[in-house]
Amino acid sequence: MIKTDILVVGSGIAGLTLALKLAKKRSDLNITVLTKTNENESNTRYAQGGVAAVWDLEKDSYEKHIDDTLDAGDGLCDEEIVRIVVEEGPTRVRELIDWGTRFDREQDGDYDLGKEGGHSENRILHYKDLTGQEIQRALLAEADKMPNLDLHEHFFALDLITQHHLGYMVTRLTPGITCYGTYALNKQTGEMETIIARKTVVATGGAGQVYRNTTNPVIATGDGIAMVYRAKGRLENMEFVQFHPTALYNPAGENPDFLVSEAVRGFGGILKTKDGEAFMKNYDERGSLAPRDIVARAIDNEIKKRGDEYVCLDCTHLDPEGFVAHFPTIYNKCKSLGIDPMKDMIPVVPACHYMCGGIRVDEKGLSSILNLYACGECTCTGLHGANRLASNSLLEAMVFAHRIHEAILDNIDQVNLQEAIPDWDAKGTTQPKEMVLITQSWKELKEIMSSYVGIVRSNTRLKRAMDRLWLLYRETEDLYTTTSISPQLCELRNLITIGYLVTRSAAMRRESRGLHYTTDFPDKNDFIEVSIM
Ligand code: FAD
Ligand code: SIN
């Protein structure tokens, strides 16, 4: 058994920011961070566009950033949370800079503020098109200096420990469900570890791998959301899955799909059909820079209407030097596929990008389970509503990491470890013989979600998805109870849960709003419902 004061699951921007803050503030506390592959692998590392923050108060204002966020969220944002994130955001960005994060500057020394879809002003701080990699680098370097912060790589958190593991019956209606830590598989030794903590934080990121095409790396399998669901915690807004409009179309197929940042459109790139028609103004007066739900749906419509495999992003009119300086990674990736962005239009398609729903938390990041907090993409804080505004995710993670660290330090001294936790019970299981059972189910799951629960939905498609998910669920549960635990099996199981939650929430929302569009209810309801699970 591993004992720690605070257990943080996840080493992206959410987990690392929080762990760092706790470690710096209380050197007497031990902070343990688990990460399921290497410390560097996370959605955070792939972030391109940057961090949205009101920086230039002469041109920009908190009110404008708040209005843009509310507008993108299509009526479902929690206005109080939006204000908190927008107003506290710039201070959090300054801390990131103090910890060594570099953001690009203009020649006069001011930060070079980019623009993305749905933003009325230039307010995106970025480091070329590698913002996430730079943030991850700086956070890991800072974490390395903290003697009371232990980062365990290749530890796969499997289940949250609650009263259920002490032999009590726990249902969604049980009051006072409490978290005592997690069971985690040490992938290097193959041992299942019991890790107990006074406070536990889930910062496990998104679940893009539930779709065939996604910008998310392979670690994005919704583990934290599924764990909280199994522990009978509250989730919200799972139907709002954000598809990024412009992943690079690559006929060879790659996982993850390579992103062509929205910042490219902010820089002047224009969406066109293959034969050069700029179509976005037919859908929204903001054209190529409309919010993501609108642009992704428009592209989906153009592709289906015309029978094309992709639409194009035209950058051929842009200043080549400026383009290469701002987007070196995108430029080089295109070149590697024989596309010269300065001469050829870039072929793009929508791809699953971000989960707007997740573990419901309050304004201090506390989940519905006692002593369990959640931070980052795995949460539903109320900031994004029905559609996230570009570059608000990194900001949200930092603001909530700060708030959670304050909340934890407020009362950790009154919480004791629960040490009477039984070890993981693996009796009656055998080694899996056929990995193909897992890999094939994973493929089927992605097909089901992409075909029936994608950008455009309908009652018939959702019903079909649910029927097929049920079969996958039963087969996977059989495997889970009879074979010994492997990360692949657990990820499949978690993704099936995510698929179920997205599909069920989508079926419950009898309207079209933000990222959820169904042909059976194409309009908005006046009565705004919240989909709670
Ligand atoms: P992550 O960074 O994904 O970290 C999750 C961590 O949890 C990882 O370390 C993972 O290994 C670990 N983990 C997961 N499950 C387990 C488990 N079972 N056991 C142990 N560890 C586990 N947002 C913006 O605001 N601006 C952008 O420019 C931007 N660009 C993006 C570009 C791309 C290509 C992508 C994919 C996303 C982008 N986003 C952007 C979204 C943003 O990057 C993410 O929402 C954000 O980084 C999530 O941070 P996080 O810390 O919550 O999760
Ligand atoms: C991008 O660079 O287009 C991604 C920004 C985001 O997801 O917020």
Q: What is the CATH number of the domain that holds 269?
A: 3.90.700.10
Residue from 258, 393, 489, 498 to probe ligand 1 pocket by mutation (most atoms less than 8 Å from CB): 393
Closest atom of ligand 2 relative to the 354 alpha carbon = 7
Q: For residue 276, is it within any domain?
A: yes
Q: Which of 324, 352, 380 is the last residue of a domain?
A: 352
Strand ranges, E, within 25-162: 31-34, 51-52, 124-125, 149-152, 155-161
Across the range 357-369, mean pLDDT stands at: 98
223 lines ligand 1 (CB under 6 A): yes
Q: Which domain holds residue 271?
A: 241-352
Closest atom of ligand 1 relative to the 10 alpha carbon = 7
Residue nearest to atom 46 of ligand 1 (CA): 44
468 and 401 in a common domain:
no
374 and 277 in a common domain:
no
Reply yes or no on whether the pLDDT at 106 is more than 80: yes
**Residue 292 known to be catalytic:** yes
**Least confident residue range of 151-160, 218-227, 396-405, 427-436:** 427-436
pLDDT in tens, 312-354: 999 999 999 999 999 999 999 999 999 999 999 999 999 999 9
Residue 268 tokens read as 């002047």
197 and 52 in a common domain:
yes
250 and 215 in a common domain:
no
Across the range 361-384, mean pLDDT stands at: 98
Question: Percentage of the chain with pLDDT > 90?
Answer: 94
308 and 380 in a common domain:
no
Q: Which of 307, 327, 352 is the last residue of a domain?
A: 352
pLDDT band at 515 (very low <50, low <70, confident <90, very high): very high
What pLDDT score does 528 carry?
A: 63
H or E segment to which residue 466 belongs:
helix 459-482
The CATH number of residue 471's host domain is 1.20.58.100
Cis peptide before 175 (omega within 30 of 0): no
Report which of residues 455 and 432 the model is more confident about: 455
What pLDDT score does 427 carry?
A: 77
Reply yes or no on whether the pLDDT at 455 is more than 80: yes
Q: Which of 352, 372, 393 is the last residue of a domain?
A: 352
Cα gap 395→267, rounded to integer Å? 21
Place of tokens 């990024």: 244
Q: For residue 420, is it within any domain?
A: no
Class of residue 307 by CB neighbours under 10 A (exposed 0-12, middle 13-18, buried 19+): exposed
Across the range 196-217, mean pLDDT stands at: 98
What pLDDT score does 114 carry?
A: 93
pLDDT in tens, 1-50: 999 999 999 999 999 999 999 999 999 999 999 999 999 999 999 999 99
Q: For residue 422, is it within any domain?
A: no
pLDDT in tens, 251-310: 999 999 999 999 999 999 999 999 999 999 999 999 999 989 999 999 999 999 999 999
159 and 66 in a common domain:
yes
59 and 6 in a common domain:
yes
Read off the amino acid at residue 394. L
6 and 140 in a common domain:
yes
Q: For residue 430, is it within any domain?
A: no
Residue 289 tokens read as 């820079």
Q: For residue 426, is it within any domain?
A: no
pLDDT band at 529 (very low <50, low <70, confident <90, very high): low
Q: For residue 428, is it within any domain?
A: no
Across the range 115-125, mean pLDDT stands at: 95
190 and 270 in a common domain:
no
184 and 294 in a common domain:
no
The CATH number of residue 53's host domain is 3.50.50.60
185 and 83 in a common domain:
yes
Q: Helices H, strands E: what count in the chain?
A: 14, 18
Domain total for the chain? 3
pLDDT in tens, 122-143: 999 999 999 999 999 999 999 9
Residue from 115, 119, 129, 244 to probe ligand 2 pocket by mutation (most atoms less than 8 Å from CB): 244
Q: For residue 503, is it within any domain?
A: yes
362 and 340 in a common domain:
no
Q: For residue 22, is it within any domain?
A: yes
